[in-house]
Amino acid sequence: MVREKVTVSTRTLQWRCVESRADSKRLYYGRFILSPLMKGQADTIGIAMRRALLGEIEGTCITRAKKIPHEYSTIRGIHESVHEILMNLKEIVLRSNLYGICDASICVKGPGYVTAQDIILPPYVEIVDSTQHIASLTEPIDLCIGLQIERNRGYLIKTRNNFQDRSYPIDAVFMPVRNANHSIHSYGNGNEKQEILFLEIWTNGSLTPKEALHEASRNLI
């Protein structure tokens, strides 16, 4: 964890990181300040930045699983149901410079555990946490699943008419920023009163809070 003493700038308006830490592979935290600001500006900027952080930054998710039985069925030799496997795939955190959609796959022989590290990916997509669990194979069977990976923003909710033969869409939350909060500190007297904006950012590890802040700021301009 890195902390810095908070000092107030009286010159150029700029963001500065005063605290940064990685709580886990899938949880990063950063605290930033912006100063000096005139009275009323901090809240306006804070609200706009929070909206941009939570809604305007792109993320990468698994959005479809292929070559599997019906979603609410089970497969002999696999501890999890197909539905549970799909839910585990939904939780996989990815980092990429992908544009649009690409394919990936899993092909594992049991018995053993299937984790995120078993996903065969194109070179421009990375796994953030290779230990994320997908399935437990209890017998010497082959598990082969085709995957569709997409980079987008916001939410993608599956609909019934999106189901294809042995291919199932997966609800996706593309937002790499888990949460963002802002607070304001006022200082000075009378007409000289100014404000400092504090902005806290939590991400899922696919990008750092500093990267998220940079991208959100760029999207606002």
CATH number of the domain bearing residue 21: 3.30.1360.10
Q: What is the extent of the structural domain holding 98?
A: 59-173
For 71-93, b where at least 16 C-beta lie within 10 A, e where not — what string?
beeebeebebbbeebbebbebbb
Domain boundary, last residue among 138, 153, 173: 173
Q: Answer yes or no: do 91 and 141 share one domain.
A: yes
Q: Are 194 and 35 a contacting pair, CB within 8 Å?
A: yes
Cα separation, 183 vs 84, whole angstroms: 39
The tokens describing 78, both together, are 């696999």
Answer yes or no: do 120 and 157 share one domain.
yes
What are the residues facing 194 on neighbouring strands?
38, 187
Residues forming a β-bridge with 69? none
Instruction: Answer for the pair 25, 205: CB distance below 8 angstroms, yes or no.
Output: yes
Looking at per-residue pLDDT, the higher value among 129 and 12 belongs to 129
pLDDT category, 139, cuts 50, 70, 90?
Answer: very high
pLDDT at 202 over 80: yes
Residues 125, 145 contacting (CB under 8 angstroms): no
pLDDT digits (tens, 9 = 90+) for 86-101: 999 999 999 999 999 9
Domain shared by 90 and 122, yes or no: yes
Give which of 196, 205, 177 is closest to 23, Cα–Cα: 205
Decide: residue 153, CB within 10 A, 0-12 exposed, 13-18 middle, 19+ buried: middle
Which domain CATH number covers 131? 2.170.120.12
Does residue 203 contact residue 94 with C-beta atoms inside 8 Å?
no
* Run of H or E including 77: none
Give the C-alpha separation, 134 to 113, whole Å.
Answer: 8
Together in a domain, 27 and 69:
no
| Band of residue 11 on the pLDDT scale cut at 50, 70, 90 | low
Total number of domains in the chain: 2
Per-residue pLDDT at 160 exceeds 60? no
| 193 and 120 belong to one structural domain | no
Same domain for 97 and 169?
yes
User: Looking at the predicted structure, is the pLDDT value of residue 144 above 90?
Assistant: yes
Residues 167 and 181 placed together within one structural domain of the fold: no
**Tokens standing for 127?**
């796994």
Q: What is the DSSP letter of 139?
A: S
Same domain, 154 and 210: no
Q: How high is the pLDDT of residue 2?
A: 62
pLDDT at position 163 is: 60
Average pLDDT on 110-123 reads 97
pTM of the entire predicted model: 0.88
* 45 pLDDT more than 80: yes
Least trusted range by pLDDT, from 8-12, 53-57, 174-178, 184-188 = 8-12
Residues 86, 183: one domain?
Answer: no
Which has more confidence, 186 or 11? 186
Cα(54)–Cα(199) distance, rounded to whole angstroms? 13
Q: Quick one: average pLDDT of 48-71?
A: 93
Judgement on whether residues 101 and 165 belong to the same structural domain of the protein: yes
Name the pLDDT band for 23 (thresholds 50, 70, 90): very high
Q: Is the Cβ–Cβ distance between 39 and 187 less than 8 Å?
A: no
7: pLDDT confidence band, cut at 50, 70 and 90? low
